[in-house]
């Protein structure tokens, strides 16, 4: 990375935050429309919210985009914090679809499958949303609701453009052998988690970092022991996007991003604990063997499912934890 890449990174971050603010403010103005009723119905229970998050993320292949939208909905008051928890958990499972599609690229016909799902990626449909948004915004002077919807589309488009700009600014690191080799240097599981966390936080895409890890399996140097901690760290690193999205938002929006972080941190602890317990109790030889692209996809999926199974019943406690960590000003003053 050079100074120009750093400047592009700053530009991307600025666009990201502006888009988030524009989308949130527009959502507030249109909260009285059918959007609020629709979301209330779709997230009337944590399980329905979980299914919504899983399906939406599986289609758009970006848990970051889903959680950012959730933060925006909570910030605007369109979605309650309790409703957001299920969507966030579902998004973690939905994002595993990308790793399976990446693995399919190694099969005959895999590219055709990947190109089909390409149409559902944010980078593909965002230009369409931007076009619709500017039409609605420009022609909606007399129809305030249409103008608000247009602003929502434009805000989301600018936000996604910011994400893409940030990713492009650091894209050179993906091909940097020195940077890529970091993933292979850590035998210590804690350092492996940190490597996956930093890589994903820099690239701002767990799907991209999972893809890098999958590509490295071709070297034969990646084992299950190397891969599992890195995958745990990648799931924590992806939380940086939601945390950035919560800058300057309401208390509940910040709490939604904290819940996302807490869910992935606790899930990583559970996943690592289960893996090493299995490794030392069963002493299965394959756990020390090489892992391929399909193995990476399987570990990623199993980990996310295991985390959801264990932590889903604890959703109320995660909500209480977020409220305790992000306190209201009035409560803070009383505590003093």
pLDDT tens, position by position, 301-312: 888 898 889 998
32 or 52, higher pLDDT: 52
43 or 233, higher pLDDT: 233
Selection from 149, 108, 121, 135 nearest residue 58 by Cα: 121
Query: What is the rounded CA–CA span in Å between residue 158 and residue 1?
Result: 24
- Is the C-alpha dihedral spanning 308, 313, 314, 317 positive or negative? positive
Strands (DSSP E) contained in 66-186 are none
Q: What are the φ and ψ backbone dihedral angles of 290, each rounded to 5 degrees? A: -65, 150
Phi-psi region of 72 (alpha: psi -120 to 50; beta: other; left: phi over 0): alpha
Q: What's the rounded mean pLDDT across residues 193-205?
A: 81
Q: What are the φ and ψ backbone dihedral angles of 223, each rounded to 5 degrees? A: -110, 170
Asked whether residue 331 carries a pLDDT value surpassing 50, the answer given is no
Asked whether residue 332 carries a pLDDT value surpassing 50, the answer given is no
What integer pLDDT is reported at residue 80 of this predicted model? 84
Q: Is 218 exposed, middle or buried (0-12, 13-18, 19+ CB in 10 A)?
A: exposed
Report the number of distinct structural domains present in the chain.
1
Q: Could you read off the pLDDT of 238-281 as tens digits, one per residue? A: 888 888 888 888 888 899 999 999 999 998 888 888 888 877 77
Asked whether residue 128 carries a pLDDT value surpassing 60, the answer given is yes
Work out the pLDDT band at 336, boundaries 50, 70, 90.
Answer: very low
- Contact (CB, 8 A) for 146 and 134: no
Q: DSSP characters for 58-123?
A: HHHT-HHHHHHHHHHHHHHTSS-HHHHHHHHHHHHHHTHHHHHHHHHTTSTTHHHHHHHHHTTSHH
Q: Which residues pair with 223 in a beta bridge?
A: 290
What integer pLDDT is reported at residue 258 of this predicted model? 92
74 in any annotated domain: yes
**Per residue in 32-46, is it b (16+ CB within 10 Å) or e — as a string?**
eeebbeebeebbeeb
Query: What is the rounded CA–CA span in Å between residue 185 and residue 100?
Result: 26
Q: Is 61 exposed, middle or buried (0-12, 13-18, 19+ CB in 10 A)?
A: buried
Work out the pLDDT band at 194, boundaries 50, 70, 90.
Answer: confident
What integer pLDDT is reported at residue 255 of this predicted model? 92
pLDDT above 90 coverage of the chain, percent: 6
What would the two tokens of residue 93 be?
A: 């499972």
What integer pLDDT is reported at residue 155 of this predicted model? 85
Q: List the end-to-end C-alpha distance of the chain, in Å, as a whole number.
A: 46
- Contact (CB, 8 A) for 168 and 161: no
What would the two tokens of residue 235 be?
A: 């799931």
Selection from 301, 287, 268 nearest residue 190 by Cα: 268
284 in any annotated domain: yes
Query: What is the rounded CA–CA span in Å between residue 161 and residue 172?
Result: 18
101 in any annotated domain: yes
44 in any annotated domain: yes
What integer pLDDT is reported at residue 334 of this predicted model? 46
334 in any annotated domain: no
Q: What's the rounded mean pLDDT across residues 103-127?
A: 60
- Contact (CB, 8 A) for 94 and 305: no
Half-sphere exposure of 192 (CA within 13 A, CB side): 19
What integer pLDDT is reported at residue 333 of this predicted model? 47
Query: What is the rounded CA–CA span in Å between residue 264 and residue 243?
Result: 13
Q: What's the rounded mean pLDDT across residues 40-69?
A: 79
Half-sphere exposure of 98 (CA within 13 A, CB side): 26
333 in any annotated domain: no
Query: What is the rounded CA–CA span in Å between residue 32 and residue 142?
Result: 18
Asked whether residue 15 carries a pLDDT value surpassing 60, the answer given is yes
335 in any annotated domain: no
Query: What is the rounded CA–CA span in Å between residue 228 and residue 272?
Result: 7
Q: What's the rounded mean pLDDT across residues 273-298?
A: 77
115 or 162, higher pLDDT: 162
SS3 category, 220:
coil
Domain holding 281, by residue range, is 3-328
Q: What's the rounded mean pLDDT across residues 170-191?
A: 65
Biggest alpha carbon distance in the chain? 70
321 in any annotated domain: yes
260 or 100, higher pLDDT: 260
Asked whether residue 234 carries a pLDDT value surpassing 80, the answer given is yes
12 or 90, higher pLDDT: 90
Asked whether residue 223 carries a pLDDT value surpassing 70, the answer given is yes
- Contact (CB, 8 A) for 303 and 267: yes
What integer pLDDT is reported at residue 181 of this predicted model? 63
What would the two tokens of residue 170 be?
A: 């650091």
């Amino acid at each position: 990375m050079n100074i120009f890449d750093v400047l592009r990174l700053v530009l991307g971050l600025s666009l990201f935050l502006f888009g988030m603010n524009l989308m949130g403010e527009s959502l507030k103005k249109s909260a009285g429309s059918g959007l609020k009723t629709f979301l209330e119905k779709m997230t009337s229970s944590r399980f329905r919210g979980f299914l919504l998050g899983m399906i939406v993320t599986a289609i758009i292949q970006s848990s970051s985009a889903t959680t950012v939208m959730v933060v925006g909905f909570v910030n605007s008051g369109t979605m309650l914090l309790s409703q957001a928890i299920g969507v966030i958990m579902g998004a973690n499972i939905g994002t595993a679809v990308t790793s399976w599609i990446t693995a399919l690229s190694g099969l005959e016909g895999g590219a055709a499958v990947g190109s089909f799902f390409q149409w559902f990626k944010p980078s593909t449909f965002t230009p369409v949303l931007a076009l619709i948004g500017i039409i609605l915004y420009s022609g909606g002077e007399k129809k305030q609701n249409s103008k608000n919807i247009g602003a929502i589309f434009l805000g989301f488009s600018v936000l996604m453009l910011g994400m893409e700009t940030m990713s492009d600014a650091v894209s050179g690191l993906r091909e940097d052998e020195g940077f890529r080799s970091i993933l292979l240097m850590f035998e210590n599981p804690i350092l492996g988690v940190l490597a996956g966390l930093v890589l994903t936080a820099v690239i701002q895409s767990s799907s991209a970092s999972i893809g890098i890890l999958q590509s490295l399996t071709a070297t034969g140097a990646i084992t299950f022991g190397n891969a599992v901690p890195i995958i745990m760290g990648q799931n924590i690193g992806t939380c940086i996007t939601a945390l950035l999205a919560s800058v300057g938002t309401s208390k509940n929006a910040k709490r939604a991003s904290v819940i996302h972080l807490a869910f992935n941190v606790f899930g990583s602890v559970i996943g690592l604990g289960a893996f090493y317990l299995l490794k030392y109790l069963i002493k299965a030889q394959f756990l020390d063997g090489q892992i391929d692209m399909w193995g990476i996809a399987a570990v990623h999926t199993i980990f996310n499912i295991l985390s959801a199974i264990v932590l889903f019943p604890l959703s109320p406690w995660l909500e209480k934890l977020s409220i305790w960590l992000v306190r209201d000003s009035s409560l803070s003053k009383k505590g003093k």
